[in-house]
Amino acid sequence: MKPRWRDVFFLALSVAITLCAADVYAGIPRLDLEVRLDPASRQLRVVAQFDNPDERGFLLHRSLEVQRATVGGAATVPRRAGRRGEAVLWQIAAAKGARVRIEYGGKLPELDRALDARGVLGAKPPMASAEGSYLPASGDWYPAPAPLFTYRVSLSLPWAQRGLVAGRLVSESLPEGDAGRYAAVFEFDHPADGIDLMAGPYVIRERMVAREGAAPLRLRTYFAPAIDALAEAYIEDSRRYIELYSQRIGAYPFSEFSVVSSPLPTGFGMPTLTYLGESVLRLPFIRATSLGHEVLHNWWGNGVFADVSQGNWSEGLTTFMADYYYKERDSADTAREARLAWLRDFAALPADAHAPLAAFRSRTHGATAALGYGKAAMVFFMLRDLIGAAAFEQGLRQFWESRQFSFASWEHLRAAFEQASGRPLREFFAQWIERAGGPRVWIENASVREGRDGAQIELELAQSAPAYALRLPLEWVGPGRSETRLIEVNGEHTTVTLDAAWLPQGVRLDPDLRLWRVLDAEQLPPILRRWILADAPRLVLASAAPEVRAAARLLAQGFFEQAPQLVEPAVLAAGSEPVLLAGLHADIDAALARLGLPPRPAAIAERGTAQVWTVQTPAGRAPLAVVSARDAEALRRISPALPHYGARSYLVFDGARMIEAGVWPAPGRVLPVTTRAATVAK
């Protein structure tokens, strides 16, 4: 999300706060809000009270106006002191320690149903409608008394509406008939840097779960009526994930957890809840993937705060312990596919998008996700390989125990894992966190000499400069057998000699993909991420019909992260910038034949209403991806989903539903070894 102006002070404050966990609570102000929201009319009325106002003032969205204010019970006149984007900066003269009371309100912007998944990651105003309201912390709908604060929110809504903010549910009053109002009070006693408010025509389902040595855990769903049938399954899976991570890390730090549906394509994790798009919640795999990710954020990100001034580690650790863990639990092959996807996403990044993990703050587009999620998760994978699973798990528990509800950086993680493993890790963290990109590693030469007691393999290895310190897996293979060893590599050129019990025929570098690196070309089939992240993407329209061309252009605008240039088919003859060819089936087939390009792949031909695939074009030809549809409506139906499949080489859709996806095979290369003369005994 776009940083708020007070985030500048938050970053500076976080450095001092990390000195001691107890310091987080020292001097933290409390904000009390009485909120009356009428979504149908979009009217918001709020009474806010807090002590010690910041002399710099507070922000309110431009749709909101301060009506009355008092300081210590005496009336005062707030002053407009300028604008910060879509917000107005208000200032109130008040002595230190004074109690401030502000009454304000206005008509909120209408909920923007046109926002896509990328749009909801950007700065958003507070939005309201009868079908759903979302007042994000970044929307400046309340006066923040400080970068960090605790809060109590009393919420009043019309009888058909329900709502919540993150925190403990103190009380709740259901309306009696359609003349009453829904009321709920929430408290959050831990330091927070924002308040997100969600409301809608929700059906609430609840289960109380007993906990040893703690109050019962309240599990809830706030679902739109159309998906209420999914509530019990989401509650049960939430319970299961909380139990899993409580055992691995430490006790769940809050009193409740809720899954809340959104009319927007959101995917947000907040303390005590997750806010997921209604269309997302319907997907059958979400309970097995994204739900666990959001539950885990209650430990990493909401239970221990990422000191983003030194890099946001929480997304990578959550991805590793949730999304990747589920694949690892499924099978070794599925886990390897996940690592391959991270490395292929990295290879698809433009060179100017490479950045160190220490610079990652939050996900704003695909390039930041490839690093802050994929690379960071791979770093934790490599760390576990280095220190062992037992020390890794112990390090996680020690990190949680020492940093609960305080800020933590990569350095705090390093200290916890050093303590757990009993080994220095400064070099490991420095090269993977502070350096951008990754090494390119290759075998320059491989030879073998057979002796009386086996074989002796000599390898000449190289890596790009400046060199990394690597634990490099090497596999040698022969008929029906293989063997893998770890080699320590520290320089740009390294020669190693290894003894083997049998005579190998070939050697392969890191076959199991356990090292963050630039993959060889043989391991890089074209995936859609390359097109999505292109610096200067180009669009070719294969069809002449105006409605088809309009649908294809709209699709391209949502697919690419940069605005595409509309070009003629001749560009497919040469060039380096990716091209998207879009149109109807017959027109696509004719264009490919006319340009001498490979035809529609047989594996997906004549299936579904739309097909998408990348083309392995000959050297010197422009990189090409194709979107082929039955009609203009089929193009329109797949547009919202297409950007979510960047890790795939091909897709088949039936209407808006994806029915098949995959990656073109790329097994990598086995380098043949040359045979040296055998050792002659004297």
- Residue 284 has a pLDDT of 83
Weakest mean pLDDT among 251-260, 579-588, 656-665: 656-665
- Residue 117 has a pLDDT of 61
- Residue 26 has a pLDDT of 60
Percent of the chain with pLDDT over 70: 93
Please say if the pLDDT value at position 589 is more than 70. Answer: yes
- Residue 501 has a pLDDT of 87
Residue with more model confidence, 464 or 25: 464
Mean of per-residue pLDDT scores for the chain: 90
- Residue 5 has a pLDDT of 32
Q: Residue 116: which pLDDT band, with cuts at 50, 70 and 90?
A: low
Q: Read off φ and ψ for residue 245, nearest 5 degrees.
A: -80, -25
Token output for 533: 């992240």
The residue-averaged pLDDT of 301-320 equals: 94
- Residue 120 has a pLDDT of 63
Question: Cα angle at 486 between 484 and 491, to 5 degrees?
Answer: 135
Distance CA(163)–CA(174), nearest Å, equals 12
Distance CA(611)–CA(630), nearest Å, equals 9
Provide long-range contacts, Cβ within 8 A and 24+ apart, for 326-329.
Answer: 326/288, 326/289, 326/292
Weakest mean pLDDT among 112-126, 377-391, 414-428, 480-494: 112-126
Residue with more model confidence, 595 or 45: 45
**Highest-confidence segment of 15-24, 540-549, 573-582:** 540-549
Residue with more model confidence, 22 or 431: 431
- Residue 147 has a pLDDT of 85
Note if the pTM is more than 0.75: yes
663 Rama class: left (phi>0) / alpha (psi -120 to 50) / beta? beta
The residue-averaged pLDDT of 216-239 equals: 97
Please say if the pLDDT value at position 666 is more than 90. Answer: no
Q: Are 591 and 546 in contact (CB under 8 A)?
A: no
| 6 burial level (CB within 10 Å; 0-12, 13-18, 19+) | buried
* Amino acid in the structure at residue 18: T
Weakest mean pLDDT among 349-358, 396-405, 541-550: 349-358
- Residue 227 has a pLDDT of 97
What is the SS3 string spanning 513-551? CCCCCCCCHHHCCCCCHHHHCCCCCEEEECCCCHHHHHH
Q: Write the pLDDT tens digit of every residue in 197-207.
A: 999 999 999 99
Q: Read off φ and ψ for residue 419, nearest 5 degrees.
A: -65, -40
Distance CA(93)–CA(293), nearest Å, equals 44
Please say if the pLDDT value at position 223 is more than 70. Answer: yes
Residue with more model confidence, 106 or 534: 106
Q: Can you list the alpha helix ranges (DSSP code H) found in 376-526?
A: 376-387, 389-403, 410-421, 426-433
- Residue 255 has a pLDDT of 96
276 Rama class: left (phi>0) / alpha (psi -120 to 50) / beta? beta
- Residue 681 has a pLDDT of 43
- Residue 394 has a pLDDT of 98
DSSP state of 561: S
Distance CA(538)–CA(545), nearest Å, equals 20
- Residue 9 has a pLDDT of 34
Weakest mean pLDDT among 247-251, 264-268, 393-397, 616-620: 616-620
Distance CA(647)–CA(650), nearest Å, equals 9
- Residue 458 has a pLDDT of 92
- Residue 161 has a pLDDT of 97
**Domains in the chain, CATH or no CATH each:** 1-201 (2.60.40.1730), 305-433 (1.10.390.10), 441-523+670-675 (2.60.40), 529-662 (3.30.379)
Query: How far is residue 524 CA from its own chain's centroid?
Result: 23
Please say if the pLDDT value at position 644 is more than 90. Answer: no
Percent of the chain with pLDDT over 90: 68
The residue-averaged pLDDT of 387-409 equals: 96
Q: Residue 52: which pLDDT band, with cuts at 50, 70 and 90?
A: confident
The residue-averaged pLDDT of 89-100 equals: 87
Q: Residue 190: which pLDDT band, with cuts at 50, 70 and 90?
A: very high
The residue-averaged pLDDT of 280-288 equals: 90
Q: Write the pLDDT tens digit of every residue in 64-92.
A: 999 999 999 999 999 999 998 899 999 98
**Residue 570, CB half-sphere, CA atoms under 13 Å: how many?**
1
Rounded to 10 deg, the angle between the 389-403 and 410-421 helix axes is 130
